[in-house]
Amino acid sequence: MHSPPTRPPEVGRLHEIGVRVLTWWPAKMTGTSLGMAAFFLVYFWVLRHPWQQRDETHLLRAV
């Protein structure tokens, strides 16, 4: 019987990390982009449609 070639544990872990990065990178990129786009759409909508009337700030003149 022949035993399968063994690799050091570090090589297996590096390979696993590489596979995970390549597998999840598109999903993370898409999710981050969509999340940022949604955040800014809501942010600018809130700026244009405040829930309360804005108070005016009067400038004081130095005497």
Q: For residue 33, which amino acid is it?
A: S
Using CA atoms, how far apart are residues 43 and 39, in angstroms rounded to an integer?
6
Spans of all domains in the chain = 10-51
Using CA atoms, how far apart are residues 16 and 5, in angstroms rounded to an integer?
18
Is the whole model's pTM more than 0.75, yes or no? no
Q: Chunked in runs of 10, what are the mean pLDDT values of the chain (63 residues)?
A: 66 86 93 98 92 75 67
pLDDT value of residue 57? 73
Using CA atoms, how far apart are residues 26 and 52, in angstroms rounded to an integer?
40
Hey, CA dihedral for 43, 48, 49, 50, is it positive or negative? positive
Task: Please provide the distance, in angstroms rounded to a whole number, between the alpha carbons at the two ends of the chain.
Answer: 98
- Length of the chain equals 63
